[in-house]
Every structure is written in structure tokens, then in C-alpha cells.
Structure 1
Amino acid sequence: MKFNYYLLFVFFSYFSLCANAQEARTALIPRPASLQVQQGELDLTKERTPIYQMEEFSQVASLLLEIPGFQAGPTETIKKIKKNQQQGIRLYKASDADKIDPNGYSLLIDESGIILKAHKPEGMINGIYSLVQLSYLNGLNQLPYLTIVDKPRFAYRGMHLDVSRHFMPFPFLKKYIDLLAFYKFNYFHWHLTDGAGWRLEINRYPELTQKAAWRTHSSWKDWWNNGRQYVDQGSPNASGGFYTQAEARELVAYAAQKGITIIPEIEMPGHSEEVLAVYPELSCTGKPYTQGEFCLGNPESYTFLKNVLEEVLAIFPSPYIHIGGDEAEKKHWKNCAKCQELMKKEGLKSEEELQSYAIQQMDKYLQSKGRKLIGWDEILQGGLSAGATVMSWRGEQGGIDAANAGHDVIMTPGGYLYFDGYQSDPRTQPESIGGYLPIEKVYSYNPVPAAIANDKKKHILGAQANVWTEYIPTYQQVEYMAFPRALALSEVVWTAQEARSWPDFHTRLQAHYPILQQLQVNYYRPSYTVSHQVKFDSVSMKNTVAFHSEQFYPQIRYTVDGSEPSISSSLYSLPVELSKSAVLKAASFLNEAKVSPTEVVELDVHKAIGKTVIYKNKWEGYPAQEARTLTNGIKGGLTYNDGQWQGFIRNFDVIVDFERREEIQSVALNFMQLPGPGVYFPGEYTVLISDNGKNYREIGTVKNQESRTDPTLKFHKFEVKLPKPVMARYIQIKATNPMKGYLFADEIVVY
């Protein structure tokens, strides 16, 4: 009998779709510790469902009303489980026999209804939100029979929002809280003050909201580049805003109902330009608009800060109060008689120790009020008191040092958890502050570095993502930058490390895009843009090119002859291997339409690969692969942090030694430009040659023609092509740095 492969294909395709549909019904994010599905399903729409709640959970049972379309029946508060509670939704306190983690919960859905168990309200809240998620995943209320036993990996699961650089409307803050609760975050770090605007009403200092909350330009970038002035509330150009104490209390209560603690941040001693513009007597100079750091030798600075914190503490019951402590410029303290006098009196040997002294004063004040101080990792400089908690943002080293020294730490490194950076090809995205952080990299993060001693790992409380708003002017843009990356972080901080898998998460994520649409979140849509990865084998001199996009089932077509891809071009399925120079082009297609820009990949198997590079001016800050970088056959990608772009602050000046005379026809080098973080193309690119390494002659110069004001990411190949070949052993390449920023170079290509 002839076997019908087509029918077999149809059968397995159908089976796969059915399996995926089943998995989508339980595609919770973050992934539970244990989930078992049974046969059957519960329909909550047939009739009004009774609710039985133990006294411990009477304040959180109302969260059940977030189940879409749910019709709650009679609600009864009970002291113990009774036989007549055989139907409906039951919120029970866990017993030791239930074997539920102290911070966890269990969820049972069967023919009798729903039973949620937890030891504490916090655990019950998370159980309820698992139930709410399930209702969205299952056509609202057709819930599969299942059993979940779950617990969080970390006690601190945080998201941050800066409302100083751009003020966000109060109703949006509630929506933000809703989304954080939905994905089991339990801390909201509210960055309320910074140089761009003071955002919290302080009754004792009315000018903080009458003037320091208002600036001349609505756009932070425009304000930053045009005088950085503040204006009185009500003036024609006033842009900004503030939250009243009543609004702040309302938000605190709203968040607490959903299991979220709000941590306020009041910046000190730096990032305080707005304060010192209206209270200049607290600065070292005594003049407005001269510095952003409080005068630490002036007792009135401490009085002001304690008075402000007194009102803050009355609003926010959070055990933690964030005082910033980062990026303080210390030159004013060095030249201030009051600061120097205090240093002499207290035996402080440096301005770092002076800052540490000031932070310790605030720490003592907060501890006297029963609170704990949190600050960015700069607070480690000069010593830190025992009760303070460190947020490690400048990479992980600050967190490693703090944890090994016995301090509690919240990990928030910029390379993994700064959601103000680009999440896709920057050339296709709205202007951002820089960096490149796709969702897969967020998901790859493990908040417990290996460099922390085993007995100190308990000091890693968890992790937090930060949303700084210099380039995020609206709440819609906040949503775009935070979601769905926040979903990846929610699993990082909730699910055990060994239970996490990117392919599994990526599959479940597909079921949450419709939910985000229902919740009217302006999330970042997965891009059709094609990206590539090239692996070069220096032994076989072979390139292997892999294409991918953010689509779950991408349809990518490509060419290897430099022609534009079309619907008839090769369909990408496996990496492409080539042992020669070539130009590959690829694009995404949907149905028969091209739906992405063309991705161009230039493969260069060239003469300089593996040759020695002599640095006349060495790299600074970005070593990449050190001396092997510029001739390793590998080009840089979309970010200067990818380990292939080498960074230079001085003029670029290197020599390639071919060890013998070679025929030279062209010399090229790629540079990157991204003005936001100070990355620019060179002014001039010059190539010189020599036979003896001493006497060089110039063979060509290329001047930059690209704009330096365009904020978008750009790449440019600077190339000197000769009309006819020349012979040389040494090639010297120079590139000037007129902008005094960073020059980033990736690969010297010689033919």
C-alpha cells in the first residue's frame, strides 16, 4: 500500500496545533513551580458563584472581581472550614499539612469550584492573580481542571518608574500598578524627584511644587539643551506637574490592596538642581543654577532633608525609603569652606567619605523612624552603615561587593534591566537613551552572580527593572518600553532558575499578546525586522550566517548574490555557510508581501584576518576582544556592548603588520554613530602604508559627510579604494575624534 505522507503531515500539524492550544490555556507568566492539568473544565458563567473567605483574606477577596465577566454570588467570612462549603470559590488559610511555602499558594480547580490556599495575604493575592490570568487565557471563564502549587524565588520583585524627567498622569499610575500585580511584582519604585522636576507635594516647602515642579520645555531633551530653567506654576510656558499628598496616599492604598509596596525615592545629595534653584541657600555657592548637590557642610541641608522625609514617611508606610545617592559631582564640596570644615571636624579624608557621612546621617534618621535606607551602588563609596540596602545599577560589581560585605542587595544592572534602552534595531525605533536590550536578554538574567560567596547569597533580595523617562514623554511610551520586557523579568524574579527556559517562555508569551491587547496596553509588538548572527571559523576561513526575527514563526527569504529578496527567493530554514566574500540580503514575508526592511550582511574573507595590530592609541573602556578585535574576521552588531566594537576616546591610530609585503587595493573600517550616549563618526579617516614600519606615505583620506545632530543609530564604512594596487607590509589607519566622544570601530577589512 502506498503511504500518504500528506495525510501524515496534516495529522501531525493538527496534533501540534491542538497541543499548542492546550498549552496556551495554562500559559501562566511567571511560570508556576508546579502545574498539573486534569480532564474537565469549570464554567463560572452559569450562575452566580458563592465566595467563602477566611478572616485573614477578607481584605483581598475583592480582587476576584478582576476576573472578566465574573458574577460573584453571596460572600461569607468564615473562621474555619465547614462541610457546607462544597461549591464556589474558597479562600482558605493553609495548614502545615498542605506543605505550601510560607510565601506561596496553592490553587485547585475541579468540579466543586475553586480552592485557593495560602499562609499570608501576600500569597493569596498571587494565587488570585494566577486565577485571573487563567480566566483571560481561557475565553474568560472556561477554566481547565488543574492543581498549582507555587512560590516566589525572590522576596523583592520590582519595577521602577521615573516621573521627574516626564510627569505621568495619576490614572496611568494605577494602570501601571494593575499590570505589575497581574504579573506578580510586589514593589513599585517611584522616582519622584530629580533635576528635571520635583513631583511630590511637601507642605513645609511649597516652592518645591510651585516652581521646582515646572520647567520651560515639556520635552526633557529640549529643556536639557536650552538653559534648564524652572518657572512658576501657571506661567505660560510652565510644563510639568506634581502629585498631591492625598493622591500619593490614594496610590499607596490602591497598590497595597494588590500586594504592592510603593518605595518613594527622594534624591540626595546629588540630582537636586530643582531644589537648589528655589532654595539656593542649601548649595555651596548660595546661588541658584550653579550646582546639583546639597552643601554637606551646611546643617540646614540636613534639616531640610529630614523635614522632607518626615512628610514622606507619613505618606509611605514602606519599610524602605530610597535616597538615590548616585552621580554626585564632588567638586563643589572640595571648594566649599563649610564642607571642608566639616571634613576636618569629623576626620573625613576625602569627598567620598563626606558623602558617606551625609548618607549615614540620613540612614540614622530613617532607622530612628523604623525604616531602612536604599540607595544606588555609589553609596558604598566611603563606607556604608550596616542597615542600608544597595541597588546595583552600574553592572553587578557593586551588588557583589555589597553582598559579600553583608549588605542586602537588589540587582538592577543597566545591561539587563534598564528598560529605557532600545529593545529592537535602534534604526527602527523611537529615539532612546541608547543601549540595546531585547526581551531575550532580559530573560537570560540571573540575579545571583557566581562571584557572591555561598553564605552571602541570601543578601540578594531580588531584582528590579528601571524605566527612566528622559526619552519617554508619554504614558503610552512607558507602556511601549516596559512591556513585554516586564513579563520576562516577572519570571526571572519569580520562577526557580533551573525551571526557566527561553523557548518555553517565548511560547507562553504568544498567549499574552492578546491579553495585553484586552488590557489596552501599548506594548512593543514583535518586529518583522530580520537580524543576523555571523560565526567565523578562522581555521577553515568559513562564515556561518543565521537569520532570525522576533516573529514566533518567521518567514524569512534571502539571497547570496546581493540581489533583493523576493517571494521566490530561498526560504531560510538553516544557517548559511560560505567560504568566500559575499553580500547576503534577507527580509521577512507575510503571505506574499515583504513586511520588513532588507537586512544586508557583508561577508569579508579578507587579507588582514589574523594579522597583528599595533595600537598607537589604545582602546579605552570598551576592550572588546582586545588586540584580536580588529582583525578577527567578525564585525560588530547593533550595540557597542556586544564584544566586537572597540571603543576609543582619543584619535584612532593603529598599524596592521602583514609580516611581508602584500598587494593592497582597499582598506575599510566600519564606525558607529549614536549621538545620545556620545558616540560619533570620525572627522577624517586616513590610510598610510610602509615597507619598513618607520617611513609611511599617505594613500588616501576620507572625510565624514554624515550629520552629527541626527539622533538615530547609524553605521558607515569608511574606505580608501585605490585605482591600482600598491605593495606594502604595514598599513597605518588613523581616524580623528573631533567630537571628543567615543569612536567605535569593529573590523579592518583589507583587499
Structure 2
Amino acid sequence: MKQTFKLGMLSAAIAAGLTGCGTLQSGSPQQNIVDALSSQLNISYDIVTNHGVQEGMACQEMGAEWASCNEITMTVVNDGDAVESNDWKIYLHSIRVILEVANKDFTIEHITGDLYVLTPTESFKGFAAGETIEIPLIQEYWTLFETDFMPRAYVVSGDATPKAIESLNTENVDAFVSEIEGNEYKRVPEDNNILATAASRFAKNSDVEALSEGAIEAAIIPTPLKARQMRGELNVAGGFAITNNALDAAQLAAFEERAELLDVNVKGDVALNINVDAKAFEGEEAVSGAYKLAINAAGVDVLGYDSVGAFYGLQSMLALMSKGDAEVLPWVAIEDAPRFQYRGVMVDVARNFHSKEAILRTVDQMAAYKLNKLHLHLTDDEGWRLEIPGLPELTDVGAERCHDLSETSCLLPQLGSGPDSDNFGSGFFSKADYIEILEHAKARGIEVIPEIDMPAHSRAAVVSMEARYKKYAEQGDLAKAEEFRLMDPMDTSNVTTVQFYDKRSFVNPCMDSSLNFVNKVITEVKAMHDEAGMPLSTWHFGGDEAKNIKLNAGFQDINAAEPVAWKGSIDLSQQDKPFAKSPMCQKLIEEGVVSDFGHLPSYFAEKVSGVVAEHGIENFQAWQDGLKYSKDASAFDTKNTRVNFWDVLYWGGDASAYDWAAKGYDMIVSNPDYVYMDMPYEVDPKERGYYWATRATDTRKMFGFAPENLPQNAETSVDRDGNGFNGKGTVDHNDGFYGLSAQLWSETVRTDEQYEYMVFPRVIAAAERAWHKADWELDYQAGKQFNQQTTHVDKDAQLQDWTRFANVMGQREMAKLDAAGIQYRIPVPGAIMEQGTLHMNISMPGLPLQYSVDGGKSWTDYSAPVAIEDASNVKVRALSADKQREGRAVSL
């Protein structure tokens, strides 16, 4: 007889008797249910359709934004004994709004963010042994990539210890997601994206010639401003004898560490002279980071405009060397200076945490490729990641995710973190960790810019300070309880944020305690910077997306007199702007301090800039939409105000960017459709990433980005649906841009390995564009139009430039990433069969290629076209440069 688990009156009484301090003892009936379901349920997901509206689904009536919805099937198989209880819940993660569950035996309820709870109804009779149950779920928008599905759904029953469902407790999402087939990879009928296949990759790579070693021996990434190669080479096998008059001890140690990584001897006899002389540089080359490098028969001379420039000169010398083969250097004369003074990488450690070690590895690579700003997104709704002395709740609560519905001990699980805190959903940098990062960055010429995001994206802070409030209120110390409180307890605003949180996602800008909090955090972070010897010179406010998405244009009122077919119908009378029902904010509006509730985020940004200025911090930085209601840069109290510009080009960003620069802001190009590294590499459902801005950004696309003449990109790239768009210089003014930054948001990026896969190697292409303006980049010109039909861009020159870059990457740089332990994405090769012969290529020539004729059971190195009798089981893949890792294998 098969054992079953039931919770009748007797077992409930037993459970009550076993309960102590709110926790059931091991072996309780409810714990038995959790243990059984978590181990026995085999859950998988299938896409039924991504084209709900075209197939007659009631997307509009269900309130889907833009009346767009899809259907998936959640299949639950009980692989064990029968479980007849209804006393359980399954908490699951969904990045899409779940509108309806089409199975009478279950209900689904939104908890917060991406967390939902699936509950059996009275009609559900339990899981029979071996039973299969299908649960259709109707969701908003589309499900186009496998990583849209989050792992680690978990089971809860009463006060039993929750457990992740074992079949979903994996980072291998294709273990529980069926293949996305047919045209389900398309968003809408007008979607003209080309699905990445072996054949399409082969066609894309076919114009990239494999260059000889001699053709790239003097090539450096990023490309120098001026470079001349002379006939001759310097033998450095005996190692270098360093004469250092430029670098401090930490900088010299950082150089020697990089040299050692590449097997370069710095204890030899070849002259390596390192000096600084700002007077030797003139005009545009007289800037921080400029250098001159001369390699000839006498040795190597590096001259920097400043110590950072001297450090960069040494990096260029190392760039000429191959890992493990550093015996000769070509004779060169280089004069170099950066294109932008701000060459940044933003890393989101808030949505999912990334380790100190991963950040230090990133800093090393930033230095090697002359990137100089590490922008750390330290806080968001899903996590607070920096220890703040005096506010332990920020990390005790805000840095932990676990199943605590009260959220007094941790934040609720999000983004596939499951019920426990033993994964990258939890974690933070201690004060010592952060200081170590600062010191490591300083030695490599990199400024660390902390971002404490507010007033939106602040749920981790708000919830943490509510826990602090409760603690001190219970002690009777209301003054201390309210000192750093961030939420108006009387605010009843009904708000849904971009990632589906409520009003607790917002720091209230109308409370004195909010500015107290800002001052406290800045004080402590500034002290850490001072201790590390890297004065805090830039404060990033965040500022983005402070809105209620239910008030977006994709919705209409359910009682609209003339409803349109392409908007979701909801009761708009129940929706509020953020803070609209906060009495404290209502008072500011009534007194005329702020004109309306929509202006409160910009108002708060201006107030925070005053606190920043009082601390002697020169630069105030934000995402541009957070400042949109401020007059211009003069509204802020700091010496400089900078904006990360993140409008999508094909939605008008190619024009609006120039307006921000004209308002006096230091404009940092940060466009999602070109330099967001959380977007997929290619149009392949097996790639990782969000895709609201673009379906694909590979290294080649990032390399081909023109960051100063934004309309130009319309000629060389497409929108998210694979269609052309128009770019036009619509404004006469062009005040120039201050910098370029590549971003990595971490919603789908949970582990360090996934993080490095998404960042590398394409961040090196961003470094190329930040440092060097290519000849094929045209100057901005008012009135000039670009699209897929225009021929303004010299595409032959662009191809030649990419071919050089791709060959240097494949033949030299990827091996250096291997040596540094970087788990970069190995490109998926292209392949075709022609007349019984297999032809293969790759986007970065030089990386090893392999093929299999038995479906991947055994592999053979590929070097030239090879005859194959039976192509039915052929698979292809590439290897890392050191041949220690395999890339994703694909069939022909």
C-alpha cells in the first residue's frame, strides 16, 4: 500500500502539540508534506503561444499592458507516492504579470515583485502517485527566452521549513523549460528578427577574414590615437629592468601582477623607463590618462601625462604580448589619449549579489583595457549590499532573502532565489570588503562610484528601516525609531512599480527622516573612501523609474467611452501617482513647494544634491529620467551634475541625448540597445537576458556603436524587432558628451559565472569605443538622416576595423582572460554543409573549433573544411582559447 499524507483534525492536533516557538519539529505532518512535494514534484514549463491577441485571447479584458498576453503551461508530475493534502502552497517566481490560472483546482496570487503563490482550491483532491497535472497560466507580454523562467519555486505548509522544489533547484533552466520552437521566438507579426542558427551564424561571420599573426603584431586594444610601427623587434625574453619615476608602490604592484599573469619577467635586464611629464603633452592630448610609448633597440620608454597615463602606457606594452609567448615586442612609437574622460562599467550587485572576488577580477580587466569608472549599483528593491555602520538592519534584513512573510528578518525571495539565503540572492560587502575594492581600484586608476538608488527602487532600504522602526518603537524609543524612517505610515497610495512592487518601493521625499538617512549613508560611505585613500568624488543618486506603471499609456480605463483595441482595460480610478496619498507630500504640494506629485523625484534629487555638496563631493550623478523635471544642471548644488542617458535610440533617444548635454549635464552615453550587457548576445532562446530594448547585442554590435553621433546607428543596426528605423540629427546644438558606460543589470544573472559570461568579452568592445573614435564614425550633423537604405557610413572601413579587433581578441586577448580566470562567453560557431563538406567559422578567428558526427558523444578538432558522409548527427562548438572550457554545442 502506498503511503499518503493527510492533515485531518487528528494530525492538525498533533501538529499543534509539536509546535514550539512557531516552528514545527522535524517529522511533523506539515513538514512531511513539504518534504514529499519538494522531492517528488517534477515541474516543467512549455510555451503554448506568445501571440495571445492574434489568437483571440482576452488580453485586453484581463488588463494586460498594451493588451498583450501569452500562455504557458506549468506541468506538474508527481514522481512519488500519493500526497492527498490541500494544506500546502507553492511560491514561484515570474517576471511576467500572471493574469489568470486556467485550472479550477488552483488559484494564484501576486505577493510582491516577481513572487506569486499557487494555492489548491477545495476541488483539488491531491497528487495521485505518478499523476500529471497541467496548469495553464496566462501572462502579460511574451516569453521569448528560456531565462524568462526563474528557478527555485518552493513549497510551504503551515510553519514547516519551506523547501525548494528539487526539479527547479538548478541554474540549468533548460532542464525545466521546453524548447521554444516555431515562430514562438517572435514577439509580434512584424518581428523580423533572424533566429540564430549554425547557418545564420556562418553567414554573419563569413565576412571576417582570419588574419596572420604578423598582421596584428602591433595591434593594441583599445586602439591608440596615433601609432607607428617600425621595422625591428625588441627581444625581451630576459625580462625588464624597471626604472620607475611615475608610479606609486600600489600602481607598480598592479602592473607587476598583470605582467606576471602574462608570464612577463620584470626582474631582468631590458630597460623599461617609466616617467611622467605633463608639459610634454599639448592640446587634446594633455588630459589624464594620456601617454607616449616608444619601443626600440634601446628598450621601452613610457611617458605619462600623469601616473595614470604612465600606467596605461604599460598596459599598452603588455597588450602587444601574448600569454605565454612574451619574448619579443615590435618597435612602435605611440602617442595616445582617451576619447572620453568617463569610461565606465556599471555592475548591479543588488538584484543578485556578485562576490568581491568577481568584482576584483572585473577591476583587473577594466585596468587592462583602460576603463576608469566602476559604477556599483549597490541598492535596489531586491537587496542592499553595503554594510553601513550604525544601521545594521540594512544588511541584517536588506541583504538577505528568505521566506519571511513579515519581512522583519529578511526580504522575500525574488528572481529565482528560493526560500533560503544560501545563494546570490543574499550577500553584501562588509566595510572591509568595500575598502579592499576601493584600494584595488585606486591602484589601477579606477574611480569607484557608489549608487544608492532612490526615491524608487528602494524597497530593501524601506523594509530594513521599517524593521528598525519596529525594534525601537517596541522599546519605547520613538525618536530613534523615526530617525531614519523612509515611509510615511499614512500613505495609502496604490502604486505598481516597473518590477511590480507597491508603495514600499519608494523613499518618501517629503520626510525629514529621509534626508537624515541620506546624510547618514553618505557620511559612512565617505569615511570608507577616506580610509581607502580614494576620496569620494561622485555620488550616484539613481533616480530612475519613480512612477506607477499602471498609469502608463498601455492602459485605459475600464469604462472608457471609446476603448482602443491595443490597450489593457483596468480601473484607473484606483491608481495613484507615487506619494499622492501621503499627507506629508500633500502638504508640500498645498504649500507650493513642489508643483505636483510627478515632480517630487526631481525635487528630492535636488535636495540630496545639497547634502552631497555639504560633504564636499564634487559630482552628483543620476539616471537621466530622475532629473527630468529639474530646470537644468544649475538646479543642483554640486560642482558637476552627470546623467547616465538610457533612452532607447529607436524610441527617440537619438535626439533627446543632445538636449541633456545642452542643459549643462555631463552626459554619459548608456543606451540599453547598445551597451546594456544584460541583453542577450543573440536572437537565440537559450541565451540569457532581458530584451525589452533589443533582442541581441553581441561584441560586434557593441564594437560598431557610434556613441557621439547617435543617429548614425540607424544605418548599421536594427530595432528590437529586427526592423530598420530612422535616425536624424534633429537639434542644432551638440555640446558633446562626457563619457560612455556599459551596464550589467542582474535580474537574470544569479552567479559569478553567469555574470562574467554576460560581461566578457563584449565589455572590451565598449572599452574600445570609450577610448578610441574610429575613422568610420561620422561627426554629428543636424538634419542628416540615417537608416538601412542610406550609405553615409564607410562599412568597408568598419569591417576592416572589426576584423582587426576580432582577430586580436581571438588570437591574443581571450587567452589573457583565461589566464585571469574570467568565465567569458565562448562564441557559438557558424557552420554549414555544402556538397558533403562541413564548413565552420567563428566571430573571433583564432579560437579553437570542434565538430562531432555522433551527436556530441565524441569531438574532433576542426582546422579546414572536412568531408562528412552523414550530417544528420553533426554538432559544432568552440573552445576557450586555453581549450579548458567548451562553448555551447549546436546542431546544424
TM-score by length of 2: 0.54
Aligned counterpart for 1:198 among listed residues 362, 369, 384: 384
- Supply the distance in 1 between the matched residues of 2:768 and 2:423 (Cα, whole angstroms): 43
**Pairwise CA distance, 1:96:** 4.1
Is contact 1:172-1:475 (8 Å) kept?
yes
3-state secondary structure, aligned to 1:215? coil
Q: Does 1:284 align with 2:488?
A: yes
Is contact 1:555-1:590 (8 Å) kept?
no
Greater RCO, 1 or 2 (C-alpha within 8 Å, sep 6+): 2
Over residues 477-511 of structure 1, what are the superposed CA-to-partner deviations in whole Å (9 max), with x where a residue is unaligned? 11111111111111111112326633332333222
Question: Are residues 470 and 56 of structure 1, via their aligned partners in 2, closer, same or farther at CA, if it must alter by over 3 Å?
Answer: closer
**Pairwise CA distance, 1:101:** 3.7
Q: Does 1:305 align with 2:518?
A: yes
Is contact 1:265-1:322 (8 Å) kept?
yes
1:252-271 maps to which residues of 2 (within 5 A)?
252-271=438-457
Partner of 2:821: 520
**Matched residues, percent identical?**
25
Partner of 1:550: 843
- Supply the distance in 1 between the matched residues of 2:589 and 2:389 (Cα, whole angstroms): 32
**Pairwise CA distance, 1:52:** 1.2
Is contact 1:375-1:390 (8 Å) kept?
yes
Q: Which amino acid aligns with 1:224?
A: Q
- Supply the distance in 1 between the matched residues of 2:414 and 2:323 (Cα, whole angstroms): 45
3-state secondary structure, aligned to 1:365? helix
Q: Does 1:368 align with 2:621?
A: no
- Supply the distance in 1 between the matched residues of 2:240 and 2:848 (Cα, whole angstroms): 46
Q: Does 1:153 align with 2:428?
A: no
Q: Does 1:491 align with 2:768?
A: yes
**Pairwise CA distance, 1:132:** 1.8
Q: Does 1:446 align with 2:712?
A: no
**Pairwise CA distance, 1:185:** 0.3
Q: Does 1:250 align with 2:463?
A: no
3-state secondary structure, aligned to 2:320? helix
Question: Are residues 312 and 590 of structure 1, via their aligned partners in 2, closer, same or farther at CA, if it must alter by over 3 Å?
Answer: farther
RMSD: 3.6
Is contact 2:542-2:623 (8 Å) kept?
yes
Question: Are residues 551 and 263 of structure 1, via their aligned partners in 2, closer, same or farther at CA, if it must alter by over 3 Å?
Answer: closer
- Supply the distance in 2 between the matched residues of 1:230 and 1:359 (Cα, whole angstroms): 35
Question: Are residues 45 and 554 of structure 1, via their aligned partners in 2, closer, same or farther at CA, if it must alter by over 3 Å?
Answer: closer
Aligned counterpart for 1:45 among listed residues 228, 237, 262: 237
Q: Which amino acid aligns with 1:518?
A: A
Partner of 2:629: 382
- Supply the distance in 1 between the matched residues of 2:279 and 2:221 (Cα, whole angstroms): 27
Is contact 1:161-1:466 (8 Å) kept?
yes
Q: Does 1:295 align with 2:508?
A: yes
- Supply the distance in 2 between the matched residues of 1:275 and 1:522 (Cα, whole angstroms): 32
Is contact 1:154-1:462 (8 Å) kept?
yes
Query: Which has the higher mean CA deviation after the structures are superposed, 187-196 or 98-107?
Result: 98-107
**Pairwise CA distance, 1:551:** 6.0
Query: Structure 2: which 5+ residue stretches go unaligned?
Result: 1-208, 405-409, 467-484, 492-500, 530-534, 549-576, 635-639, 712-728, 777-797, 833-839, 855-862, 877-892
3-state secondary structure, aligned to 1:108? strand
Is contact 1:217-1:237 (8 Å) kept?
no
Q: Which amino acid aligns with 1:415?
A: D
Q: Which amino acid aligns with 2:661?
A: A
- Supply the distance in 2 between the matched residues of 1:412 and 1:29 (Cα, whole angstroms): 21
How many residues in Structure 1 have an aligned counterpart in Structure 2? 520
3-state secondary structure, aligned to 2:518? helix
**Pairwise CA distance, 1:122:** 1.6
Partner of 2:546: 328
1:349-748 maps to which residues of 2 (within 5 A)?
349-371=595-617, 372-383=619-630, 384-386=632-634, 387-395=640-648, 396=653, 397-430=655-688, 432=690, 435-448=695-708, 449=710, 451=729, 456-458=734-736, 460-498=737-775, 501-511=801-811, 512-529=813-830, 550=843, 552=845, 591-592=866-867
Query: Which has the higher mean CA deviation after the structures are superposed, 48-57 or 208-217?
Result: 48-57
Question: Are residues 153 and 290 of structure 1, via their aligned partners in 2, closer, same or farther at CA, if it must alter by over 3 Å?
Answer: closer
Over residues 324-364 of structure 1, what are the superposed CA-to-partner deviations in whole Å (9 max), with x where a residue is unaligned? 10111362411111111022224322222222111100011
3-state secondary structure, aligned to 2:591? helix
**Pairwise CA distance, 1:428:** 3.5
1:40-119 maps to which residues of 2 (within 5 A)?
40-46=232-238, 49-54=240-245, 60-65=251-256, 66-67=258-259, 68-73=262-267, 88-94=271-277, 96=279, 101-103=286-288, 104-119=290-305
- Supply the distance in 1 between the matched residues of 2:382 and 2:455 (Cα, whole angstroms): 15
- Supply the distance in 1 between the matched residues of 2:287 and 2:463 (Cα, whole angstroms): 49
Query: Which has the higher mean CA deviation after the structures are superposed, 408-417 or 52-61?
Result: 52-61
Over residues 132-161 of structure 1, what are the superposed CA-to-partner deviations in whole Å (9 max), with x where a residue is unaligned? 222236812321222211111111101111
Question: Are residues 596 and 336 of structure 1, via their aligned partners in 2, closer, same or farther at CA, if it must alter by over 3 Å?
Answer: farther
Q: Which amino acid aligns with 1:21?
A: E
3-state secondary structure, aligned to 1:214? coil
Is contact 1:440-1:502 (8 Å) kept?
yes
**Pairwise CA distance, 1:90:** 0.3
3-state secondary structure, aligned to 1:457? coil
Is contact 2:454-2:541 (8 Å) kept?
yes
Question: Are residues 347 and 222 of structure 1, via their aligned partners in 2, closer, same or farther at CA, if it must alter by over 3 Å?
Answer: closer
Over residues 4-42 of structure 1, what are the superposed CA-to-partner deviations in whole Å (9 max), with x where a residue is unaligned? xxxxxxxxxxxx98x721123223111112222223322
**Pairwise CA distance, 1:440:** 1.9
Is contact 2:343-2:740 (8 Å) kept?
yes
3-state secondary structure, aligned to 2:292? strand
- Supply the distance in 1 between the matched residues of 2:392 and 2:377 (Cα, whole angstroms): 19
**Pairwise CA distance, 1:236:** 8.2
- Supply the distance in 1 between the matched residues of 2:246 and 2:311 (Cα, whole angstroms): 14
Question: Are residues 286 and 271 of structure 1, via their aligned partners in 2, closer, same or farther at CA, if it must alter by over 3 Å?
Answer: farther
Is contact 1:399-1:410 (8 Å) kept?
no
- Supply the distance in 2 between the matched residues of 1:454 and 1:62 (Cα, whole angstroms): 48
TM-score by length of 1: 0.63
Aligned counterpart for 2:214 among listed residues 6, 18, 22: 22
User: Whose strand fraction is larger, Structure 1's or Structure 2's?
Assistant: 1
**Pairwise CA distance, 1:43:** 2.6
- Supply the distance in 1 between the matched residues of 2:770 and 2:683 (Cα, whole angstroms): 27
Partner of 1:578: none
Over residues 400-441 of structure 1, what are the superposed CA-to-partner deviations in whole Å (9 max), with x where a residue is unaligned? 221122211101010001110110232242465563212222
Is contact 2:633-2:664 (8 Å) kept?
no
**Pairwise CA distance, 1:215:** 0.4
- Supply the distance in 1 between the matched residues of 2:525 and 2:592 (Cα, whole angstroms): 29
Question: Are residues 230 and 370 of structure 1, via their aligned partners in 2, closer, same or farther at CA, if it must alter by over 3 Å?
Answer: farther
